[in-house]
Structure 1
Amino acid sequence: MRTRTHRLALVCGTAVLATAGLVTGAPAASAAAAETHCNIIDDSARPTVSPGDTGDAVRQVQCLINQYSKYSYWVEVDGGYGPQTLEGVHWVQTCNATTGGADGIVGPSTWSALYAPKTACALSS
């Protein structure tokens, strides 16, 4: 009985940690947490974001890429615009034929695509 109680406590404790976002490493766990609306910055705040940038606007881009792709294309939401984010931005820009092409710069056209992507562009999970 004692072993079963300990096992149950371990399973429940892990579930609580995963729900709180304290267990990381698996994209599916992070993706589930990101399923809610990306509200890192106000939706109307859309500064130009470029490779090498850091901060909340980059986190918003990363979150929107994850939301947009339905988690088939997962990007770490870490606030650093590195190679993984660049690849995700290129994917969004190419699929939506944004103004300026796939230049990796998140300007007005790319922000619009992130907030209102073409249905055909969203990847299935």
Structure 2
Amino acid sequence: MRRNRLLTTAAALGAAAALGLAVPHTAAAGTGGRCSYVSSDYRPTLTYGSTGAAVRQAQCLSNAWGGVPPKLAADGRYGDLTLKKVEWIQVCHGLPESGVIEGRTWEVLYHPALDCYARYPD
């Protein structure tokens, strides 16, 4: 029974994606332990153009998202791809789409929502 439900759900999600409908992107819970570029207590404000270990941490944490969003290289440079992903994560969590990583955005990077129905920007 459970297997049939999983197959039905997978088929429905595949059909929805093929039709261009929003399908959930999922995040792995508790990814902070795998990202160790800085202490989880160190949460500086980061903006487009920022560099360093805290940017690497944010990039690593953003990679908890499965599905369509691309994995970011933890290169420590806050550029176009990082900006696009951060803005999308902010939308998924109902935050202002500012691209600025600060208090609430750090919080959701460490504790992501399990599903997001917002379409990842092209």
TM-score normalised per structure 1:
0.63
Which runs of at least 4 in structure 1 moved beyond 6 Å after TM superposition? Answer: none
CA separation of 1:94/1:53 partners in 2, compared to 1, >3 Å: closer, same or farther? same
What SS does the corresponding residue of 2:34 show, helix, strand or coil? coil
- The gaps in structure 1 that reach 5 residues or longer are 1-33
CA RMSD across the alignment: 2.1
Higher RCO, 1 vs 2 (CA within 8 Å, ≥6 residues apart):
2
Identify the match of residue 66 of structure 1 among 51, 54, 63: 63
- The gaps in structure 2 that reach 5 residues or longer are 1-30, 118-122
Residue 79 of structure 1 and its aligned partner are, at CA, apart by 0.4
Q: How far, CA to CA, are the matches of 2:56 and 2:67 in structure 1?
A: 16
CA separation of 1:48/1:38 partners in 2, compared to 1, >3 Å: closer, same or farther? same
Give 1:80's aligned residue.
77
Residue 121 of structure 1 and its aligned partner are, at CA, apart by 2.7
Give 1:57's aligned residue.
54
Question: Letter of the aligned partner of 1:119 in structure 2?
Answer: L
TM-score normalised per structure 2:
0.65
CA separation of 1:71/1:63 partners in 2, compared to 1, >3 Å: closer, same or farther? farther
Identify the match of residue 95 of structure 1 among 87, 92, 95: 92
Q: How does 1:1-125 map to 2 (within 5 A)?
A: 37-67=34-64, 69-70=65-66, 72-73=68-69, 74-98=71-95, 101-121=96-116
Q: How far, CA to CA, are the matches of 1:114 and 1:55 in structure 2?
A: 17
Q: How far, CA to CA, are the matches of 1:121 and 1:75 in structure 2?
A: 18
Q: How far, CA to CA, are the matches of 1:118 and 1:109 in structure 2?
A: 13
Question: Letter of the aligned partner of 2:82 in structure 1?
Answer: T
C-alpha distance after superposition, 1:35-56 (max 9, x if no partner): x610110001101010000000
Q: How far, CA to CA, are the matches of 2:42 and 2:67 in structure 1?
A: 24
